[in-house]
Each structure stands twice: as C-alpha cells, then as structure tokens.
A and B are shown apart, each in its own frame.
Chain A
Amino acid sequence: MTTESIATTPNAPDSQGRAFYRSQVFRRQMILAALVLALFFSLCVDLALGPARYSLGEVIAALLTPDNVSQQARVILWEIRMPVALMALVVGASLSVAGAQMQTILSNPLASPFTLGISAGASFGAALGLAFGVAIIPTAIEYVVPINAFLMAMVTAFLIHALSLKRGVTVETIVLLGIAMVFIFNSLMALIQFFASQQAVAAVVFWTMGSLTKATWPKFWIALGVLATVMPLLARHGWALTAMRLGDAKAESMGVRPRSLRLEVLVLVSLLAAIAVAFVGTIGFIGLVGPHIARILLGEDQRFFLPGSALCGALILSVGSVISKIIIPGTIIPIGIITSLVGIPFFLFLVLNHKKASW
C-alpha cells in the first residue's frame, strides 16, 4: 500500500516541495517498518510471559522451528498462548481501524466504536446471554455470548445507518444518535443487572472489562478473516477517505461522493468493531487512541494512516497484554483495564506535547 513510484527523468532536479514529499514518504515507510518490528518484539514478549516463562530466544526458536522445541513448549506457545497473543493484534488492529475511519468519515476526534454505541450494543447482547441464557439466534452454547454481542452491535450499526439515511441528517447528528444509543444500552444493561443473579452480574461486569483469555484459534481466524477482507476495501477508497478530512464540500469538488462513501465505510467498520468486541468484550480505549497516535506519527494520508492505525492499535493491545501479565505476577488483569490505565496517560502525554492541532 505504501509502495510508490519515484522514478523521474534523469537529471531532473526535484522541486523543493517534491523533495520534501519524498522524504516524508520515506520517513513514513520507516515508521511503519519500525511499528512492524515493535509489534513482532511485543508478540514475542507476550508469548514468553506466563506461568511457564521462556526466553525470547526460545520463543523465536519455537516460532521458526516448532519441531525442534520440547512438546510442552510447543503446546504452551502454539496452542495456549499464540491464539491469545495473535488475537490481541487482530482485535487491536480492528478496533483502531474502526475508530480511525469513524473519526475520518464523521470528522470527529471522539468518534470510535464506543461513540456510536456499537460497543454498548455488543455489551447488551452479551449481557442477555450471560445473565438470562438468551440466545438471539440458536447456536452452540460456547458461541451464545459472542454471537449475541455481534448481532446487537450490527443491529446498532444498521439502526444508525438507517437513521442517517433520513434527509437532513448531518455527521453531528450521527454522533448524537450514537451517544443516544450508548445511553439506551447502558440503561438496558443496568436493568439486566438489577434483575440478574449476583453471579450473573459478576459475569457481565467481567465481560465488559474485556479479556483476551476468551480467544481461541477459530475465533482468531474469524476475526483475522474479517480484518483481511475489510482492509483492502477501505484501502481502495484511500484517496477519497483522505479527501473526506478536508470537509464534504472539498471532497465533492474532488469527485468524492461523501454520503455514499460514509455509509459504506460505516458498515465496514461496524463489522470490524462488532467482531472484535464480540470475541473479547469491550476494550474501548484502542479505537479512540490508536488512530490519534497514528495521525501524530504518520499524518492523514490514508496510504500510511490506515496501516499505521492498524499497527498502532495492534501494538497498544499487545503491549497491554504484556503488562496485564506482569503487573501482578500470576494474575492476568482484564486487558480493558490495562489499556485505559497505562494507555491514557501515554496518550495525554502525546496530545499535550504535540505542537500541531489537527481538529
């Protein structure tokens, strides 16, 4: 996505602007490469940590030549820890990309799967299953909670989608609709907790904290499949999405159709967010902060911003997973708590020290 033809006529000197642009492209490619490396390192550390500890060398050996490590190490690293560690990457990337594109199409720095009520809808769906055993569609018991969560997240997204089709609905109205959804679902959640048993309430509360320990290989492949499908569809609109940040009037003048693009992207990112939240619970911070960090590092050219958002989100959640294991040895603290506690101060540091305002 970031490949760029830079062939020019021999001996033709670059203009000042073009030379700067080229250096910017190179710098961004380097940043993306650095993020990939950081992500790989974080993944290895995440795999190494747990009740049985392995060195980074052992982890890398197990990754590269699984047949040459002990069966115990292979089972622990590949069967137990790998789906969780990879799920952190995919969910982080999905939530961050969803937030990035919601911020882009709604031109609102606070937009995220939370702002539009998608996470709240998912929580409500999950709570129905956890508290009362309600399955919105009949399914295997193991999948009742994630499928309930997914369905309610998509119902929320399509409700907002349908309302946004009404004449006169602006991007501000869409955000307000999302906030209204959050309050409605929060009230319904409170109602469920009021009627549910103490044990069920505890399960609901734990689910809403978000936890990667629910990850399995099948869930990982589903989440990865959705991410791998949605990313190229978003990348296809790379130039148009970048233009959306100039405002609808400017985007239209460049040939973009903001209304139809907004609706298409809203559906795609809702799918991303719904899958992620359904499998690991509500991890809200990533969708807000991942894109902001990517924006600070890479600007808003979607050729860099889109993969950058995915990498930042994946890295934040992977690092969060590492911290959740080491903060209290022997205890894995729910990831949603860690990402908020550790990530928000870091985010504030970045925002307050960043010289340029982007909104």
Chain B
Amino acid sequence: MVTLQLNHVSARYGRHPIVQDITTPCFQGGQVVALLGPNAAGKSTLFRRILGLLKGEGEVAISGTNAERPVAYMPQETGAKAVLTVYESVLLARMQGRSLKVQAADLAQVDRALSELNISALGERDIGDLSGGQRQLVSAAQALVQEPDILMLDEPTSALDLNRQINLLGVLRRLADERNMLIMVALHDLGHALRFADAAMMLENGRLIACGPTADVITPTLLRQVYRVEARIEPCSKGRLQLIVEEAV
C-alpha cells in the first residue's frame, strides 16, 4: 500500500520561504486527507513541493508503489486555450512520457476516467467551449487517467455547483476506498472536509499548525485562530459533523 510522509519539508520561491518545516504522520492509501488553510497559506506550494516541482529542504518520502508516475496532480489552472477536445485532452494526460502510439488500453482508461466523473458526454466538446465547472471536472479526469497511487487535487470544487461538489468528493472518497488511492485535496469548504476526509492538515502562513483526524483539526479554537470566524461543530440528524459559522471575528 502506498504511503506518504513529509519530514521537515520546506519550499521557497526565490528567497521567500512559502512552506516551512512541515512534518506529517505517515498517510496511507485508502485515506482522504484534506489540506486546509486560508488563501496564501501555502497549500498549492506544498503540493508542488511534494510533486518535486519545487526544491527545498526536508524529505518527501513515498513508498509502497510500483506505479510509473505514482503521484498525479490537478492544479487550480484548467488550461483551456488549446484546440483540443475533452477526450483528446484527457488522453494527452494519459500519454505523457509514453510513445506516440496510442493503445486500446489507453483509450479504455480515458473512457473510464470520463465515466467515473460522469462527463463522458463531454468527450466531443472542445475544451475552450466548456464552463468553468466542466473544465474543473475535465481537469480531475486528466489527473485520474494517469492511474496514480497518490492523487493530489488543488481546490477541485471551487467552480462546481453544490451537486457536482458532492458528486466529485464522493468519487474521490470511493477511489480511496475501492482502489486504495491516497487522496490529498485542498478545500475551502470545511464542511466538505468534515464529511469526506479522514484526516486534515491545517496550514497558516506556510506552517503546519494542526494535523490529524479531521474532527480533531477543525475545531472552534483553530477556526477562530486561522480563519478568524466564530463557529460551532455539531452532529446533524444523521450523525455527521457539520460546521455552523456564526460570524467573522
């Protein structure tokens, strides 16, 4: 089973440290980990550091995988300028690093990724003609089609309507449960984190200030400190924890 652990990980842009000294417990395949924090907390930078796109001190330890590219990443940018159909753009993500010859198995993976996200009907559309939400789902399919053991998604629900937010997070939850993927997802909706994530990491100003089971991280005290809001966390009638925000401090 794939595992990921960060040991004293830092990252910087030029001389400016963005992420500093982050150490986490060992996350495992089958877990959904929510990456939380206000704007500019360092969430995207941490993703890029884990992916190896940024250098810095510390160690990103990934083990228990034989995948050619164990980590797939869905950035916030959805890149819609190219003259490509949705199907082509997902195939493109699949084929990186492979030969120019497309095999039937590659097309089958594209079909599967589109089907998982319920966007098979968009296959023929040009990516430039899609809405922001549709682009976001296509972007998720581009990450999924790589068959990673670790899937990192940077605010994948920011342009989706409520129905699609729940559906996408449900798909991610299922991928973790059924395929033993380790899912790391940056979220601004803490209610979604409480509902779908097993664990959470709370970042503030590039530092990890809390990490553990989601319910232990999303607490009124931390919300007041990090997000400057008064909030309560209560079980709903179905027993799920829900976040009730009272007011901004």
Chain A hits for B126, CB < 8 A? 356
Inter-chain CA distance A84–B175, complex, in Å, is 61
Residue of B nearest to A357 (CB): B128
Chain B hits for A353, CB < 8 A? none
Inter-chain CA distance A252–B73, complex, in Å, is 9
Chain B CB within 10 A, most for which of A21, A24, A299? A21
Contact B79 A247 (CB under 8 A): yes
Mark A240-276 against chain B: 1 for CB-CB distance below 8 A, else 0.
1011011101111111100000000000000000000
Given A240-B96, A255-B97; A15-B123 close (CB under 8 Å): yes
17 contacts between A and B (CB under 8 A): A5-B103, A15-B114, A16-B124, A17-B86, A17-B87, A18-B107, A24-B88, A167-B14, A239-B100, A243-B96, A246-B81, A246-B89, A249-B75, A250-B78, A357-B128, A358-B83, A359-B81
Inter-chain CA distance A9–B105, complex, in Å, is 10
Contact B124 A254 (CB under 8 A): no
Q: How far is the CB of A151 from chain B (nearest CB, A)?
A: 34
Q: Interface residues of A toward B: which range?
A: 35 or more
Q: How far is the CB of B211 from chain A (nearest CB, A)?
A: 24
Q: 3 closest pairs, A vs B, by CB?
A: A17-B123, A246-B79, A250-B79
Contact B83 A17 (CB under 8 A): no
Mark B47-86 against chain A: 1 for CB-CB distance below 8 A, else 0.
0100101000000000000000100111111111111111
Chain B hits for A359, CB < 8 A? 81
Which residues of A210-265 are within 8 A (CB) of B?
235, 238-240, 242-243, 245-247, 249-256
Contact A253 B75 (CB under 8 A): yes
Contact B96 A254 (CB under 8 A): yes
Chain A hits for B76, CB < 8 A? 249
Contact A5 B101 (CB under 8 A): yes
Extra contacts besides A243-B92, A245-B82, A254-B146 (15): CB < 8 Å: A15-B111, A16-B123, A17-B114, A17-B122, A20-B123, A24-B85, A238-B100, A239-B95, A249-B79, A252-B48, A253-B75, A253-B142, A254-B92, A254-B142, A255-B69
Contact A358 B98 (CB under 8 A): no
A7 near B: Cβ within 8 Å? yes
Residue of A nearest to B93 (CB): A254
Q: How far is the CB of A324 from chain B (nearest CB, A)?
A: 32
Residue of B nearest to A16 (CB): B123
Inter-chain CA distance A299–B121, complex, in Å, is 20
Which residues of A174-219 are within 8 A (CB) of B?
none
Interface residue from B82, B89, B123 paired with A18 (Cβ < 8 Å): B123
Residue of A nearest to B72 (CB): A253
Chain B hits for A303, CB < 8 A? 100
B176 near A: Cβ within 8 Å? no
Inter-chain CA distance A238–B14, complex, in Å, is 31
Chain B hits for A8, CB < 8 A? 104, 107
Given A18-B87, A21-B85; A256-B96 close (CB under 8 Å): yes
Mark A34-49 against chain B: 1 for CB-CB distance below 8 A, else 0.
0000000000000000
Chain A hits for B182, CB < 8 A? none
Contact A358 B143 (CB under 8 A): no
Inter-chain CA distance A252–B100, complex, in Å, is 19
Inter-chain CA distance A5–B80, complex, in Å, is 27
